[in-house]
Amino acid sequence: MSAASPKLKVCLVGAGQWGRQHARVFSQREDVALCAVAGRTLEKTQARAAEFGLRAYTNVTEMLDRERPDFVSLSLPNLEHFGATLEVIQAGYPLLVEKPLVFDLEEADRLLAEAERRGLFFAINFNHRYAKPLRLARQAIEDGRLGEITHAIWRFGGEANVSPHPHANLIETQCHGFDQLEHLCGPIRSVMAEMADLTGGGYRTVVLALRYASGAAGSMTGTYDSSYAYQDTHHLEINGTKGRLVVDDTVRRFTFQKAGEETSEVWQAGYFNDFDREFHRTFDVHLHAVLDAFKRGDQPPVHARAGRRALQLAWAAVESFESGKRVTLPLPVSV
């Protein structure tokens, strides 16, 4: 933190809609002094700055040089992450970035190497991990309630995010699936893929067969050929030798059922529990964990290496689809 203030001085890069969530959560913490935002267009950036009482910039380096923050948070369009992230890292600032880390593995490796060389705190916002049902799922697995995991099923999809990249859905959205499945089930050892481009705009639907290092099997379906208005737009099911858990729509419901029993345990947000039923609040919980770890001098709760790992899995899926063969991956470095 700054010597002159007990509060953590934070700057934002990105004045878009999800950048607004960054501004909202940082601004609500009593131990944070949110001071400035840098955006691509002056009018939009000034509007966001006015909303939260910040100073507005259209140049990241100028903002960093003038503000000298303790921490920087970035939320930019998916294909534009590399340049600004590298700029912040090379300036020597600890940071939180949005998913996907980048679209190119060489760029991911450079960002991680540059941050490592400077000893920087480098977090990525895989906020889905912090939904109440996902936290309950993690706890059930850690407590051994599922027994040995045998197979896992993931499905997630909605309307297309318009992008010139042919594998946008796989890289920028299904990265949450890769991250959650490895977070809960352990490393994915191999991938086989089918993809469809029936609606134009690239391979908007992907179906993957997965094998875990543990020997468990899995499947993953991701699509931009659907709608977020549909019931069960997200479904996660993990089966084990002792029981099964199901997560519906990320924040809506968690269910656990013991093998052979006809009754189940269900969590869903109560009447007054708006916090846990609201998707955006997953970021609140994650950001609090990020800042608490940073202030203690610990590693991020979700290191940017997890973004690199999700990207590696995505490109393995592309390789499998293009070759028609199973692709085996190395086991990840701890993320």
- Residue 161's Cβ-count burial label (10 Å; 0-12, 13-18, 19+) is middle
* Alpha-carbon torsion, ordered 237, 238, 243, 248, to 10 deg: -30
φ and ψ at residue 73, rounded to 5 degrees: -120, 135
Structure tokens at 168: 């946008």
For residue 55, pLDDT over 60 is answered with yes
Question: Within this chain, do residues 177 and 217 fall inside the same structural domain, yes or no?
Answer: yes
Residues 173 and 103 in one domain: no
Asked if 203 and 189 sit in the same domain, the reply is: yes
Residues 323-326: contacts with CB under 8 Å, at least 24 apart: 325/192, 326/190, 326/191, 326/192
In-domain check, residue 193: yes
Residues in a beta bridge with 79: none
Q: Is residue 94 domain-shared with residue 23, that is, in the same domain?
A: yes
Say what the pLDDT of residue 331 is.
87
- Regarding whether 100 and 23 lie in a shared domain, the answer is yes
Token reading at 190? 């191999």
Residues 91 and 154 in one domain: no
Name every residue whose Cβ is closer than 8 Å to that of residue 142 and which is 6 or more positions away in sequence.
none
Give 15-29 as a 3 state SS string.
CCHHHHHHHHHHHHC
Within a domain: residue 1? Answer: no
Rounded to whole angstroms, the Cα distance separating 26 from 28 reads 5
> What's the CATH code of the domain at 98?
3.40.50.720
3 pLDDT higher than 60: no
Is residue 133 located within the same domain as residue 94? no
Which tops the pLDDT comparison, 213 or 332?
213
Residue 330, preceding peptide bond in cis (omega within 30° of 0)? no
Given this model, what pLDDT does residue 332 score?
Answer: 82
pLDDT of residue 161: 87
Residues 6 or more apart whose CB falls under 8 angstroms from that of 91 comprise 61, 64
Q: How many helices (H) and strands (E) does the chain have?
A: 11, 15
What confidence tens digit (pLDDT) does each residue in 230-267 have?
Answer: 999 999 999 999 999 999 999 999 999 999 999 999 99
Q: What is the mean pLDDT of residues 298-305?
A: 98
Query: How would you class 144 by CB atoms within 10 Å of its CB: exposed for 0-12, middle for 13-18, buried for 19 or more?
Result: exposed
| 150 shares its domain with 254 | yes
What's the average model confidence in pLDDT over 90-118?
98
Considering the domain boundaries, does residue 305 fall inside one?
A: no
Q: What is the pLDDT of residue 141?
A: 98
Q: Cα 106 to the chain's mean position, in Å? A: 20
Residues in the chain: 335
Amino acid at 49: A
Structure tokens at 138: 């993690």
Output helix, strand, coil percentages for the chain, rounded to the nearest 5. Answer: 40, 25, 35
pLDDT digits (tens, 9 = 90+) for 192-235: 999 999 998 899 999 999 999 999 999 999 999 999 999 999 99
Please state, rounded to an integer, the average pLDDT across all residues of the chain. 96
263 and 291 assigned to the same domain = no
Provide the percentage of residues in the chain whose pLDDT is more than 90. Answer: 96
Residue 156 belongs to some domain of the structure = yes
Instruction: Name the H helices within the chain.
Output: 17-28, 42-52, 60-67, 81-90, 105-117, 132-142, 168, 175-185, 274-277, 281-296, 305-323
| Amino acid at the residue 127 | N
> What single-letter DSSP state applies at residue 129?
G
The whole domain housing 51 covers 8-127+283-300
CB 123 within 8 A of CB 277: no
> How far is Cα 211 from Cα 219, in angstroms, rounded to an integer?
9
Q: Which residues pair with 266 in a beta bridge?
A: 255
* 156: helix, strand or coil: strand
pLDDT tens digits along 159-176: 998 899 999 999 999 999
pLDDT at res. 5 = 55
* Residue 213 and residue 240 in contact, taking contact as beta carbons nearer than 8 Å: no
